[in-house]
């Protein structure tokens, strides 16, 4: 197969590997502790671990897009903000 059209750079590969590791990790967590541990957080509706992962990934995408638009292409600080955001989502939502 020729994947040259996909522009596989190291950051692109790391991004997709990270998403894969997160999904596999959540699958293992669900297998070890079924049920998703639903709870009601600050959003006032019931969320599971998978919901919180989705919310944190979606929010991280918006953080990175806003950073690109407002600050520039140096995304290390955006990554740090995204990790802090994800920790907050998993604790509070």
Q: Give the whole-angstrom CA distance, residue 54 versus residue 61.
A: 11
pLDDT digits (tens, 9 = 90+) for 19-73: 999 999 999 998 998 877 789 999 899 999 989 999 999 999 999 999 999 999 8
Q: What predicted TM-score, i.e. pTM, was given to this entire model?
A: 0.82
Contacts (Cβ under 8 Å, ≥6 apart) of 43: 93
| 75-84 contacts at long range (C-beta below 8 A, 24 or more positions apart) | 82/56
Q: If you search the block for the tokens 């520039």, which residue do you land on? A: 72
Ordered by start, the domain boundaries in the chain are 4-92
Concatenating the DSSP letter of every residue in 3-26 gives -GGG---HHHHHHHHHHHHHHHHH
């Amino acid at each position: 197969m020729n994947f040259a059209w996909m522009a596989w750079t190291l950051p692109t590969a790391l991004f997709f590997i990270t998403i894969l590791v997160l999904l596999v990790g959540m699958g293992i967590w669900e297998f070890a502790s079924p049920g998703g541990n639903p709870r009601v957080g600050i959003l006032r509706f019931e969320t599971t671990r998978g919901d919180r992962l989705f919310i944190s990934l979606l929010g991280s995408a918006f953080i990175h897009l806003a950073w690109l638009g407002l600050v520039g292409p140096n995304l290390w600080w955006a990554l740090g903000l995204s990790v802090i955001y994800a920790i907050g989502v998993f604790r509070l939502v």
